[in-house]
Structure 1
Amino acid sequence: MQKASGWPEVSIIVPVHNGGESFRKCLQSLNQWALERAEVIVVADGASDGSWQLAEPFGAKLIRLPETQGPARARNIGAEAAEADILFFVDADVTIHPNTVDGVIRAFQANPELAALIGSYDDAPGATNFLSQYKNLFHHYTHQGGHEEASTFWGACGAVRREIFLSLGGFDQRFRKPCIEDIELGYRLKQAGYQIRLCKAIQVKHLKHWTPYSLLRADIFYRALPWTALLLQLRQTDPQQYQQVSRDLNLKSSSRLSVVLVYAAIASLLFVWWWPTALLGAGLLSLVLVLLNWPVYRFFYQQRGFWFALGVIPWHWLYYFYSGLAFAIGHLRYQIWGYQLAKG
């Protein structure tokens, strides 16, 4: 089922750093659903738990890095070693579906002008605790409601033509943590005039177990702050592209308005001590916030029921709160130190 030349149709690149049980499940799914049509390249990014030893028995090509350099560097090294024309990047904590790889191949075959594509998490996250279900289902909802003409890339389930990827220099290796290196690559792809598609039917299952600490750390320090700096730089260097990306995925106008409503409701509560009627204002603002985000809460209700959807609301509002705070802090940092600080 490979090309006549013997080359694989797609090279799957998996960076891993202490992947544990999730990485083993990732390899199992690749072994079951991908090896017939793809080469699998595992780049062990300075792993110390020995999980890299799982790769070779599963038929993967293994590249070991002596020290941790970050997933951006690991993916680039895997891309350089790849033999196929299509690079499919998969995180070590996801499993693919039976039709995932075929979906990637068909998408590029059907559209010769397509430079890159991204998929979506499915609606059945692997970890069963509330935060993991909420976080990963929210990601699924966001991608399923996104524009098919995408303005960004996604390293957990994203494919790109190898020639184009290498011509752009790959991922920015100054990102030393799992950060926004994939988003930044997507912006460069668009600036170069290439097409990126959001293929909603190409899905993977996310296995990550989220805790309050890991969620807040990732969302604030690895996403919101560096993403703010990237957007501010983009606004300065390419206002037209900034206008395009500011309407996609997490940056829709409804999300920005929700941030304003959350802070207005908090301000109203602070004034209740002096003006009791401010409580009514906070209640009205909260009602507007619920109505504005009703499609989100209806989705969670349909997926997990009433009580789960009710539990989502405070976490969703907290998300708007720290997103707004991170934007303010990121804006201040950008004005003082510029974009470089966000990559450290």
Structure 2
Amino acid sequence: MKNLPLVSVIIPVYNCEKYLKETFDSVFAQTYRPIEVIVVDDGSTDESAKIAQTYPSIRYFYQSNQGAAIARNVGISLAEGNLIALLDADDVWQPNKLSLQVNYLHQHPQIGILATNIYQFLEAGVEIPSGFRPEQWLGEQPGLIPSTLVIRKAVFDKIGVFSPKFGSSEDTEWIYRARDSQVEIEMLSEVMVMRRLHGSNISWKSVSTSSSQLLRILKASIARKSRQIH
């Protein structure tokens, strides 16, 4: 592939010092180039800033604590690439993730959003919350989550960025909005992301409340479709 596109990697960070080095190293171990790495620190009070700033090629930005949606949106606004790759600060990429996805997008220009499978595992010593079902959450899973996504920047121009109104379900709401706007989404079967479940995961904390958020998302989706019909 000639004239390889720049991939902007957006990493929102909030008090993730325990995992950051492994996460960053997995980005810089990618077989694909060119990339730019944008870290938006969402008001961390631990050593996250110091760790990020030990990587000279990281573009580091700090904001007061406003949530992951706003942090991702800031990163997207700063991105110079035509492809956006999202990554949570406690997840890890396989080395060939970006190469696989960029090549696939090049071959399938109609696809706007490309995901991969994930492997989810429990961090040692984590207390399991009520409502957690290991058979549903652990092991290889379909991965329509931020850390798997490579997105054409034009998709954001079409449907907008992430809404902070949906809390930790902002990525699910955005995917629904993309589908309602006829953006083509595809998922590769390869496992390209290792996702660690631990006591500080935002989604982990919200296992028991995700149903109410999903109901809000579905209502918003139905309203959009109704407006399209009329």
Same fold, judged at TM 0.5 (above): yes
Q: Which has the higher contact order (CA 8 A, sep 6+)?
A: 2
Following the alignment from structure 1 to structure 2, what is the Cα–Cα distance between the partners of residues 2 and 171? 32
Question: Is 1:194 matched with 2:183?
Answer: yes
Decide whether the 8 Å contact of 2:177 with 2:221 is kept in 1.
Answer: no
Q: What SS class does the counterpart of residue 122 from structure 1 fall into?
A: strand
1:168-209 deviation digits (Å, cap 9, x = unpaired): 22111334x4x1111111111111111011122152111232
| Higher strand fraction (1 or 2) | 2
Question: Is 1:80 matched with 2:77?
Answer: yes
Following the alignment from structure 1 to structure 2, what is the Cα–Cα distance between the partners of residues 22 and 136? 25
Q: What SS class does the counterpart of residue 81 from structure 2 fall into?
A: coil
- Which residue number in structure 1 is paired with residue 192 of structure 2? 203
1:122 Cα deviation from its structure 2 partner = 2.0
1:106 Cα deviation from its structure 2 partner = 1.2
- Give 1 or 2 for the bigger CA radius of gyration: 1
Which amino acid counterpart does residue 137 of structure 2 have in structure 1?
Answer: F
1:56 Cα deviation from its structure 2 partner = 3.0
Following the alignment from structure 1 to structure 2, what is the Cα–Cα distance between the partners of residues 127 and 134? 15
Following the alignment from structure 1 to structure 2, what is the Cα–Cα distance between the partners of residues 170 and 107? 24
1:103 Cα deviation from its structure 2 partner = 1.5
Distance change (3 Å), C-alpha of 1:157 and 1:210: same
Decide whether the 8 Å contact of 1:9 with 1:105 is kept in 2.
Answer: no
Distance change (3 Å), C-alpha of 1:218 and 1:135: farther
1:39 Cα deviation from its structure 2 partner = 0.9
Gaps of 5+ in 2: none
Residue in structure 2 matching 1:17, options 14, 19, 27: 14
1:157 Cα deviation from its structure 2 partner = 1.9
Residue in structure 2 matching 1:219, options 202, 207, 212: 207
Coordinate RMSD, CA, aligned = 3.0
Distance change (3 Å), C-alpha of 1:39 and 1:3: farther
Which amino acid counterpart does residue 180 of structure 2 have in structure 1?
Answer: Q
Distance change (3 Å), C-alpha of 1:205 and 1:134: farther
1:167 Cα deviation from its structure 2 partner = 3.1
- Which residue number in structure 1 is paired with residue 162 of structure 2? 171
Following the alignment from structure 2 to structure 1, what is the Cα–Cα distance between the partners of residues 135 and 37? 25
TM-score (norm 2): 0.83
- Which residue number in structure 2 is paired with residue 314 of structure 1? none
Decide whether the 8 Å contact of 2:6 with 2:33 is kept in 1.
Answer: no
Following the alignment from structure 2 to structure 1, what is the Cα–Cα distance between the partners of residues 135 and 88? 14
TM-score (norm 1): 0.57
1:313-332 alignment to 2 at 5 Å? none
| Higher helix fraction (1 or 2) | 1
Question: Is 1:63 matched with 2:61?
Answer: yes
Which amino acid counterpart does residue 32 of structure 1 have in structure 2?
Answer: A
Q: What SS class does the counterpart of residue 98 from structure 1 fall into?
A: coil
Following the alignment from structure 1 to structure 2, what is the Cα–Cα distance between the partners of residues 143 and 128? 23
Distance change (3 Å), C-alpha of 1:106 and 1:203: same
Distance change (3 Å), C-alpha of 1:108 and 1:224: same
Q: What SS class does the counterpart of residue 114 from structure 1 fall into?
A: coil
1:235 Cα deviation from its structure 2 partner = 3.7
1:48-105 deviation digits (Å, cap 9, x = unpaired): 113122223222111111x111111111111111111100001001011011111121
Decide whether the 8 Å contact of 1:40 with 1:60 is kept in 2.
Answer: yes
Decide whether the 8 Å contact of 2:118 with 2:194 is kept in 1.
Answer: yes
Distance change (3 Å), C-alpha of 1:139 and 1:171: farther
Which amino acid counterpart does residue 186 of structure 1 have in structure 2?
Answer: I
